[in-house]
């Protein structure tokens, strides 16, 4: 048995279903299931993609058509193979029961299409509109966890520090045990405004695997954050083992944007848009409409002085489109020469990159590969910038 490494992004939305009706209303119209699979396999070069609107009946129908026409096949170990990528069926759900201070988004993954269909039918009794993404679930967080586990699924709180609709950003006062069963959590998604070192300032997270995903609302944003995982082959069973560190399966590296780039990294006054220190009132205009940044929220609830646990390296990266002077035509030229974005970011030697795009862009790609790019901080809903 020889294990290999695979690139994985577990949080991609559906913008439109096969009937051109919206699923994620804020998602791109080109973000269909089939387009996601093609983009992931042919251009991004990732090996596993989690589509977290797979509960939508029209999305399920599109999966059934792909299987029926032979474009896709289902793995006995869970997941659906399409060309060079494995689809993991997921659902992003908004929990807001009597124990929450605010809505919490969670990711629920199912091993097979049959179990996702069962889950979807159950969710339809707990939601107002099963056709849309990230809908409010009417029930307790622990009840949802139990249903996911009954169906053999995985349960991961999503982008846990963002100011809105997240576990620590607004959902709980101090601990996730206020809302969820700690034994039924399979991993923690960090989100774009935090990294492993920041999250490890909270003791109750120390025992969980951290995942870094794109939360893509367009095709180009797929794999803006991702992880490299050691598998025998990309399947649901292998993913489950990797999240638990079983049988030598494990996350090797987390690749994510520097938290400074996250649009909720620093606190910002919602009125005058100046950066603040996260206090209740703005130092500039006196407004109390403060959008509290991730860095300040973690400062409020941190309870660990451990500098660093034994975790996979967290490498700061950005999508190739973020690199200055690397426009659409240059990007297409890179893909024409080197096939996929993962090849360009991780594999192609510097001299070969220089031959195609010149020294400046090649240098930037190499700095990205090493995690040494420089950034300007974001906050208040505005992304940071690459310097």
CATH 3.20.20.140 location in the chain? 4-258
Mean pLDDT along residues 231-254:
98
- Partnered with residue 226 across adjacent β-strands are 255
Q: Is the pLDDT at 289 greater than 90, yes or no?
A: no
What does residue 50 show for φ and ψ, rounded to 5 degrees? -95, 115
- Residues of the chain with pLDDT > 90, as a percent, come to 75
What is the DSSP track for 265-297?
A: SB-EETTT--B--S-SS-TTT----EE--HHHH
Single pTM value for the model: 0.95
**pLDDT per residue over 128-158, tens digit each?**
999 999 999 999 999 999 999 999 999 999 9
Residue 292: the pLDDT is: 84
Return left, alpha or beta for 132; rule: phi > 0 is left, psi -120 to 50 is alpha, else beta.
Answer: beta
**pLDDT per residue over 194-210, tens digit each?**
999 999 999 999 999 99
Cα distance between residue 14 and residue 301, in whole Å? 34
Cα distance between residue 379 and residue 383, in whole Å? 6
Q: Is the pLDDT at 255 greater than 90, yes or no?
A: yes
Residue 144: the pLDDT is: 98
Q: CATH fold of 318-370, please?
A: DNA polymerase; domain 1 (1.10.150)
172: three-class secondary structure by DSSP:
coil
CATH code for 4-258?
3.20.20.140
87 CB contacts (<8 Å, ≥6 apart)? 37, 48, 49, 50, 51, 63, 72, 79, 80, 81
190, 215 Cβ separation under 8 angstroms: no
């Amino acid at each position: 048995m020889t294990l290999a490494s695979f690139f994985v992004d577990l949080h991609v939305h559906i913008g439109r279903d096969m009937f051109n009706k919206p699923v994620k209303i804020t998602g791109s119209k080109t973000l269909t299931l089939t387009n996601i699979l093609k983009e992931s396999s042919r251009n991004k070069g990732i090996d596993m993609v989690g589509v977290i609107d797979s509960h939508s009946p029209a999305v399920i129908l599109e999966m059934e058509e792909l299987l029926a026409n032979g474009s896709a096949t289902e793995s006995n170990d869970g997941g659906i193979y399409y060309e060079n990528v494995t689809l993991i069926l997921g659902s992003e759900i908004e929990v807001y029961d009597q124990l929450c201070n605010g809505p919490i988004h969670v990711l629920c993954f199912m091993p097979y299409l049959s179990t996702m269909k069962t889950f979807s039918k159950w969710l339809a009794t707990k939601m107002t509109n099963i056709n849309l993404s990230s809908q409010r679930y009417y029930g307790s967080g622990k009840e949802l966890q139990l249903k996911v586990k009954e169906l053999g699924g995985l349960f991961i709180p999503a982008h846990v520090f963002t100011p809105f609709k997240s576990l620590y950003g607004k959902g709980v006062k101090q601990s996730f045990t206020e809302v969820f069963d700690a034994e039924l959590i399979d991993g923690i998604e960090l989100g774009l405004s935090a990294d492993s070192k920041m999250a490890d300032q909270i003791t109750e997270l120390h025992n969980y695997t951290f995942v870094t995903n794109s939360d893509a609302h367009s095709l180009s944003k797929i794999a803006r954050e991702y992880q490299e995982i050691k598998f025998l082959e990309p399947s649901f069973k292998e993913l489950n083992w990797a999240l638990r560190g079983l049988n030598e399966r494990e996350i090797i590296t987390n690749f994510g944007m520097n938290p400074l780039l996250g649009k909720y990294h620093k606190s910002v006054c919602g009125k005058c848009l100046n950066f603040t220190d996260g206090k209740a009132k703005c130092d500039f205009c006196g407004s109390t409409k403060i959008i509290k940044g991730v860095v300040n929220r973690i400062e409020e609830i941190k309870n660990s002085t451990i500098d660093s646990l034994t975790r996979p390296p967290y490498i700061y990266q950005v999508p190739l489109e973020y690199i200055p002077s690397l426009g659409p035509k240059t990007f297409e030229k890179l893909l024409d020469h080197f096939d996929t974005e993962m090849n360009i970011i991780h594999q192609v030697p510097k001299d070969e990159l220089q031959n195609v795009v010149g020294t400046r862009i090649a240098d930037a790609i190499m700095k990205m590969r090493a995690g040494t790019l420089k950034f300007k901080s974001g906050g208040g809903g505005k992304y940071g910038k690459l310097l």
